[in-house]
Amino acid sequence: MKTNNSFSATLHILLHLEQMDKPLTSEQMAAFIDGNPAFIRKLLAGLRENNIVCATKGHHGGWRLCRSVSDITLYDIYMALGEPALFALGNRSENPQCLVEQGVNRVMSETLADAQTLILDRFKRLTLQDIGREFISYFNDKGHDHD
């Protein structure tokens, strides 16, 4: 089953934006994730509507962060992306009259709802700044410079 990596791709792009002191084009950002510029623009549309990124037009135009990384939570980004599915697991519905299927679906639904609540609560506490600190610390511990 194919996983949706739009959330992690967006985090990656936003952290590169934070490191740059100039606006970046969708083509430049696509290179960071080995993706295509149309995919980048699709991701950025919801982020712009939620005042996470801003676009400027013109010769030196491009995308930049509108807010500080300390003010952007992972939850803000998740919501701006349209709440992508967190799990690839789902319920069976081939035989809705089956009591076993109903029981399994009730337990699975409750378990997935609990897990989603935990993840979203964590997203509300984590900021882009937290992620940036983590990867800088990781690379410094490994003896590498960060980009």
Tell me if 14 sits within 8 A of 128, measured CB to CB: yes
Residue 23 makes CB contacts below 8 A (sequence gap 6+) with 55, 56, 60, 61, 62, 63, 64
The residue-averaged pLDDT of 114-131 equals 96
Residues in contact with 134: Cβ distance below 8 Å, sequence separation at least 6, in sequence order: none
The confidence score (pLDDT) of residue 135 equals 65
pLDDT (0 to 100) of residue 1? 54
pLDDT higher for 1 or 49? 49
Predicted TM-score (pTM) of the model is 0.83
Q: What is the mean pLDDT of residues 3-7?
A: 83
What's the pLDDT score for residue 9? Answer: 92
36 vs 28: CA distance, rounded Å: 10
Task: Kindly indicate the confidence band of residue 141, based on its pLDDT and cuts at 50, 70 and 90.
Answer: low
> Tokens 């939570």 map to which residue?
73
Checking DSSP bridges between strand 53-56 and strand 62-65, what pairing results, if any? antiparallel
- Please tell me the predicted confidence (pLDDT) of residue 58: 83
Round to whole Å and give the CA distance between 119 and 121. 5
Q: Shortest CA distance to 46 belongs to which of 18, 16, 84, 17?
A: 84
**Contacts for 75 with CB less than 8 Å, ≥ 6 apart:** 120, 123, 124
pLDDT tens for residues 23-47? 999 999 999 999 899 999 999 999 9
